[in-house]
């Protein structure tokens, strides 16, 4: 073989022993199995077959293989060394070669160019992302609700709430309210409205003799400040109500005005007589009559003029065309804010201004009364006179500027259509014009009529304003008396979960009946736990033995617990911000849903059977209600024992006994027709 010839030429055979032979490599070809590389230093490599590689400068290496002769009969057990040329794989540049490129000016510039380009592109992408976020249209987060929007407003009649005096004289007072703070906290309300507490108000609420002091029968200013301070610590806000239209006749302002003492001369509405009758008596300036009947003018011989009183003769009307009076009342508002008050309810706000020219009232052609009766006239010159809303708006702005979350509400004995103007979107209006146009007629209202009235009121108020529902007041009988005891829970469910603020009268959460100002029943002890006095100035509810706070707090279910659960439900975004969809089912069931899909909150479904028959109804008319719904709240005495709180019901078959009511929750679905 040619290969054998080459091997024989390049090496001499050297005898070792009888066991084998090896071929001697020339010295210029290899040294100690080391591989020479370009740097001149030998480098040893291993081939995949286990031999040694001797690398050359051109990428070709000489492979030295030691071949065992065992089992080879021809070689007689001799070991052979095979030398072959092998192509080496590229193993990269050495450190010195790399450093040459690294220090080359061209590569340095290229690296800097790529570095700068990377950060420019990164900054550009960041700028674009920010621009997209800023400029892209997005849904604005709803404005957070204030305390008087989130919570019902709980009206407290101070003289009949709790006797807190050491002597137990049988009269409610400010200390009695402070004694019952835990009750407000447990209920979960954030705002209470106190009945008039100013000097002169305890006996007759409209006879204020001092707008910046506490009536002694109710306590002291120290008692009041202590009360508001502790309520504030508990997260409960205080609003007070009073009548700004007039003062009592014994008010120092009126006494000074009688004497024409400046600046009080024109603090009240004074006018000269229009003439004399046949007997020489002074005739009033015009045909205005008081709400109580008869002329609205009273002649005062000391001053020689008539003063206006749209109510009793001992209630002279203040002159709100006088800037001094406006400043006085702003000072009054500030005084009470400094004492811890965070809201005001101005009663009889529709009487604040009257025609300064004293023009006669026009006749009401629909009236069947006589000329001395109030309903005989239209009262365009004396009620809701132009400028009244702007005046009230200025009071509201004043309160807002002095408080973080102050509230100004008003009451007015007028129709809903007239009350809407008190929102007066352009002139800012007031926060809460108290609306009782629905609840005053609940007893004779069916489901369809109630739905119509609710929707008419909600659709009629200006956009962006917050509705309210006055469920009770000192001027009407108890809610349970106006509807029926079995419907109290249903009425509360409907109005507590509608958009808007419910305004309730103390004790209505217990379902008590009778007059508005009965003593609050705290227990079944003497006088219902209101006072230990032997006699009271006020009546106690006939049902106080069973419908009292102590019993309803401990009972498994009660009107109070329904009321409390409804207050807790109002914390849901679905109730504060959600949509309202209302239907009447089976002619007698008022039903509505509240859903706020953006928050992921559950949907709420309110069902109130106002009829006299037990029903099983389907709520499939609500397109987002799934097959199963969950009971959240049920009315007291619900006749179907299977309907328990937290129980699952089929939305196609919801039991509703006569006068029964439910609040259900569900996960809104996207089912379509």
User: In 10 A of CB 611, how many CB atoms?
Assistant: 16
CA within 13 Å, CB half, 307:
27
Going by C-beta distance under 8 Å and a sequence separation of 6 or more, which residues neighbour residue 295?
284, 288, 289, 372
In this predicted structure, what is the pLDDT of residue 82? 55
β-pairing verdict for 343-346 and 305-308: unpaired
CA pair distance 437, 153, nearest whole angstrom: 17
CB-CB contact of 185 with 234 (8 Å) = yes
Q: Provide CB contacts within 8 A for 212, sequence distance 6+.
A: 198, 332, 335, 336
Q: For residues 490, 492, 495 and 497, what is the CA-based torsion angle, rounded to 10 degrees?
A: -90
User: What is the mean pLDDT of each successive set of 10 residues along the chain, which is 673 residues long?
Assistant: 44 41 42 43 48 52 53 51 53 67 76 84 86 66 90 97 95 97 97 97 89 97 98 97 97 97 98 95 97 97 97 97 98 98 97 98 90 94 95 96 95 88 81 87 85 94 91 92 93 98 97 94 95 90 93 96 98 96 97 89 96 95 95 93 93 96 93 49
**pTM for the whole thing?**
0.80
Distances (CA, A) of 110 to 98, 102, 105, 285: 15, 11, 9, 100
pLDDT, position 486: 94
**Token pair of 514 as six digits:** 């009778």
What CA–CA distances, in Å, run from 394 to 333, 382, 429?
12, 20, 9
Residues 6+ apart with CB under 8 A from 564: 186, 187, 188, 509
- For 307, the 3-state DSSP assignment is strand
**Cβ atoms of residues 572 and 602 within 8 Å:** yes
Three-state DSSP class for residue 7: helix
Q: What is the pLDDT of residue 9?
A: 42
Instruction: Give the C-alpha separation, 669 to 663, whole Å.
Output: 18
Contacts of the segment 229-232: beta carbons below 8 A, 24+ positions apart:
229/340, 230/178, 230/181, 231/181, 231/184, 231/192, 231/340, 232/340
Work out the angle at residue 399's Cα, subtended by the Cα atoms of residues 393 and 400, and round it to the nearest 5 degrees. Answer: 90
The answer to whether 648 and 667 are in contact (CB under 8 A) is no
Distance of alpha carbon 326 from alpha carbon 328, whole angstroms: 5
Q: What is the pLDDT of residue 307?
A: 98
Three-point CA angle 388, 391, 397, nearest 5°: 140
Cα–Cα distance between 230 and 225 in angstroms, integer?
A: 9
Q: Rounded to an integer, what distance in angstroms lies between the CA atom of residue 558 and that of residue 561?
A: 5
**Contact between residue 291 and residue 371 where contact means Cβ atoms under 8 Å apart:** no
């Amino acid at each position: 073989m040619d290969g054998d010839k080459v091997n024989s030429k390049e090496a001499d055979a050297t005898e070792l022993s009888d066991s084998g032979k090896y071929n001697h490599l020339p010295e210029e070809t290899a040294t100690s199995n080391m591989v020479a590389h370009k740097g001149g230093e030998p480098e040893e490599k291993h081939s995949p077959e286990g031999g040694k590689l001797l690398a050359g400068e051109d990428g070709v290496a000489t492979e030295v293989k030691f071949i065992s002769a065992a089992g080879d009969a021809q070689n007689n057990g001799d070991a052979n060394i095979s030398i072959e040329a092998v192509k080496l794989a590229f193993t990269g540049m050495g450190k010195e070669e790399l450093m040459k490129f690294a220090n080359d000016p061209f590569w340095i510039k290229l690296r800097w160019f790529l570095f700068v380009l990377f950060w420019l592109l990164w900054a550009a992408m960041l700028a674009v992302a920010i621009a997209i976020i800023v400029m892209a249209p997005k849904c604005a987060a709803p404005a957070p609700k204030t305390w008087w929007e989130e919570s019902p407003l709980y009206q407290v009649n101070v003289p009949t709430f709790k006797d807190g005096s050491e002597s137990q004289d049988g009269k409610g007072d400010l200390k009695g309210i402070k004694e019952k703070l835990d009750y407000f906290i447990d209920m979960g309300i954030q705002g209470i409205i106190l009945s008039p507490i100013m000097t002169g108000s305890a006996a007759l609420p409209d006879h204020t003799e001092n707008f910046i002091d506490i009536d002694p029968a109710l306590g002291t200013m120290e008692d009041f400040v202590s009360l508001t301070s502790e309520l504030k610590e508990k997260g409960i806000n205080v609003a007070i109500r009073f009548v700004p239209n007039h003062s009592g006749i014994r008010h120092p302002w009126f006494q000074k005005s009688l004497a024409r003492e400046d600046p009080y001369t024109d603090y009240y509405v004074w006018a000269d007589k229009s003439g004399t009758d046949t007997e020489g008596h002074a005739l009033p300036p015009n045909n205005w009559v008081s709400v109580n009947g008869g002329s609205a003018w009273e002649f005062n011989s000391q001053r020689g003029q008539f003063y206006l009183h749209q109510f009793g003769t001992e209630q002279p009307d203040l002159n709100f065309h006088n800037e001094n009076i406006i400043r006085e009342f702003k000072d009054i508002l500030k005084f009470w804010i400094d004492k811890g008050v965070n809201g005001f309810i101005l009663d009889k706000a529709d009487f604040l201004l009257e025609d300064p020219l004293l023009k006669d009232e026009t006749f009401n052609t629909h009236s069947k009364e006589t000329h001395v009766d109030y309903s005989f006239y239209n009262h365009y010159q004396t009620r809701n006179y132009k400028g009244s809303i702007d005046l009230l708006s200025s009071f509201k702005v004043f309160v807002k500027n002095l408080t973080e979350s102050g509230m100004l509400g008003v009451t007015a004995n007028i129709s809903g259509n007239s009350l809407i103007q008190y929102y007066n979107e352009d002139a800012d209006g007031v926060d809460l014009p108290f609306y009782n146009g629905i609840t005053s007629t609940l007893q004779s209202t069916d489901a369809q009529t109630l739905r119509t009235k609710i929707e008419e009121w909600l659709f009629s108020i200006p956009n962006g304003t917050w509705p309210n529902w006055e469920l009770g007041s000192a001027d009407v009988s108890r809610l349970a008396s106006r509807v029926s005891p079995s419907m109290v829970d249903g009425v509360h469910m409907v109005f507590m979960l509608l958009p808007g603020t419910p305004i309730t009268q103390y004790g209505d959460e217990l379902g008590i009946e009778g007059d508005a100002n009965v003593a609050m029943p705290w227990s079944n002890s003497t006088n219902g736990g209101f006072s230990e006095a032997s006699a009271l100035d006020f009546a106690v509810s006939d049902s106080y033995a069973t419908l009292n706070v102590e019993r309803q707090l401990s009972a498994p279910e009660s009107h109070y617990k329904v009321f409390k659960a409804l207050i807790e439900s109002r914390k849901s975004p679905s109730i504060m911000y959600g949509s309202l969809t209302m239907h009447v089912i089976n002619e007698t069931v008022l039903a509505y849903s509240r859903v706020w899909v953006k928050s992921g909150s559950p949907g709420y479904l309110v069902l109130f059977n106002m009829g006299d028959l037990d029903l099983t109804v389907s709520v499939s008319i609500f397109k987002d209600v799934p097959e199963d719904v969950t009971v959240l709240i049920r009315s007291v005495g619900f006749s179907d024992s299977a309907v328990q709180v937290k129980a699952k019901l089929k939305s196609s078959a919801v039991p509703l006994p006569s006068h029964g009511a439910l609040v259900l929750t569900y996960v809104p679905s996207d089912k379509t027709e």
